[in-house]
C-alpha cells in the first residue's frame, strides 16, 4: 500500500510490537496515519484508493475522516505510543529543552528569520537547548549554522521516501532524546510536541511560526485557535499532556493479536498476498 506507511519507521515499530521482524515489516493492508494533522489522518494530497482502510491515531481524527467521506477509518493509536509503552525508560535526571523548529518537506519549504527565532528561544528557555532539525534543514549548512551557534544540534534521521533509506530507528532516537529533556518546544504545534508531552516533557509552542510555501493559512490559524492549552511559553503541563494523549489515541492501543488482524498481518492474509504477488 502507500509508501508513507514506512515514514519514520512506523511500520517497523508496529511489526516489532506484533512479534514480527522489525527490519522487514509486512505490507500494511491500508493507510497508516504518519503524522498529526487536522484532516482525515492522511497527508494533504495523498493518493487514496477509494474504499481502502485508514488506520488513524485518535477518535477525533476518525470522526473527521467519516465526515470527509472516508468511513473505513479505524482508531489504533499513534505508533509512538506503542514504542513508549514497550521501550524501558533510562534512569537519570532530565534537563534543558529539546526544540523542534517548524520544517518543510520535499514538496514545500519554510521561510522565516531563523536568527530572530533563536534569539527568542535563548531568551525564553531556562536551561541548555538541543535543537532538533528535520533532515532537510539539517543538511542545509546555512540554516544549521544559526542553531549551532546557540546550542547542541541533532537530527533524528531520515523519514524515508518510496520505502528507501528509511531510518527504522527514527522514533527510537526521538524517544531517547525526549526522555533526556525536561521541556519540549516548537514554533508550531506538531507531532513532536505531542510526543514530548506524552513522554513526560513540559510542552510549549511559541515564537515566529514562519511560513510554509503555499500553505493553507486558515488551517494554521485553526490549530492555534482549537488547541490554546498547548500554546504559549509555559502551558499548564497536566492539561497539555491530557490533550496530547487524546490526540495520540491513548486508550485505543490494540493488542498484538488485534493489530496483526487489523493491519492484515495474520498468516492467512500474508499467504494470500504472497499468492497474489506471485501471480
pLDDT tens digits, residue range 6-56?
999 999 999 999 999 999 999 999 999 999 999 899 877 788 888 899 999
Cell of 211: 511560513
Cα(149)–Cα(114) distance, integer angstroms: 12
User: Residue 130 in 3-state DSSP?
Assistant: strand
CA-nearest of 150, 149, 169, 167 to 158 is 167
Helix axes 170-178, 191-198, angle to 10 degrees: 60
Distance CA 53, CA 105 (A): 25
- pLDDT, residue 277, reads 47
In angstroms, the CA 257 to CA 260 distance is 5
The residue among 167 and 262 whose pLDDT is bigger is: 262
Residue 142 CB contacts under 8 Å (≥ 6 apart), including other chains? none
CATH 3.40.50 positions along the chain are 97-247
CATH number of 97-247: 3.40.50
Residue 107 predicted with pLDDT over 80:
no
The pLDDT, as a whole number, for residue 105 is: 64
In degrees and rounded to multiples of 5, residue 82 shows phi and psi of -65, -40
Amino acid at each position: 500500500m502507500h509508501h508513507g506507511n514506512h515514514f519514520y519507521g512506523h511500520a517497523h515499530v508496529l511489526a516489532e510490537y506484533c512479534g514480527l521482524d522489525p527490519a522487514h515489516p509486512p505490507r500494511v493492508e491500508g493507510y497508516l496515519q504518519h503524522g498529526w494533522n487536522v484532516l482525515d489522518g492522511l497527508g494533504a494530497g495523498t493518493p487514496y484508493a477509494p474504499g481502502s482502510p485508514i488506520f488513524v491515531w485518535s477518535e477525533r481524527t476518525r470522526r473527521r475522516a467519516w465526515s470527509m467521506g472516508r468511513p473505513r477509518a479505524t482508531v489504533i493509536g499513534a505508533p509512538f505510543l506503542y514504542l513508549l509503552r514497550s521501550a524501558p525508560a533510562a534512569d537519570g535526571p532530565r534537563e534543558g529543552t529539546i526544540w523542534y523548529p517548524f520544517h518543510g518537506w520535499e514538496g514545500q519549504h519554510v521561510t522565516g528569520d531563523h536568527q530572530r527565532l533563536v534569539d527568542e528561544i535563548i531568551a525564553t528557555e531556562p536551561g541548555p537547548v538541543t535543537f532538533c532539525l528535520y533532515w532537510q534543514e539539517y543538511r542545509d549548512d546555512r540554516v544549521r549554522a544559526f542553531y549551532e551557534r546557540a546550542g547542541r544540534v541533532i537530527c533524528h534521521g531520515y523519514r524515508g521516501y518510496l520505502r528507501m533509506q528509511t531510518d527504522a530507528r527514527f522514533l527510537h532516537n526521538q524517544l531517547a532524546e525526549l526522555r533526556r529533556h525536561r521541556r519540549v518546544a516548537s514554533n508550531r504545534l506538531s507531532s513532536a510536541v505531542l510526543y514530548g508531552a506524552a513522554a513526560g516533557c513540559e510542552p510549549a509552542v511559541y515564537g515566529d511560526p514562519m511560513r510554509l510555501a503555499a500553505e493553507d493559512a486558515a488551517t494554521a490559524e485553526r490549530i492555534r485557535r482549537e488547541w490554546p492549552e498547548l500554546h504559549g511559553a509555559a502551558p499548564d503541563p497536566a492539561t497539555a499532556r491530557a490533550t496530547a494523549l487524546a490526540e495520540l489515541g491513548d486508550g485505543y492501543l490494540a493488542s498484538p493479536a488485534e493489530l496483526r488482524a487489523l493491519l492484515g498481518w495474520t498468516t492467512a492474509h500474508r499467504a494470500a498476498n504472497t499468492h497474489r504477488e506471485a501471480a
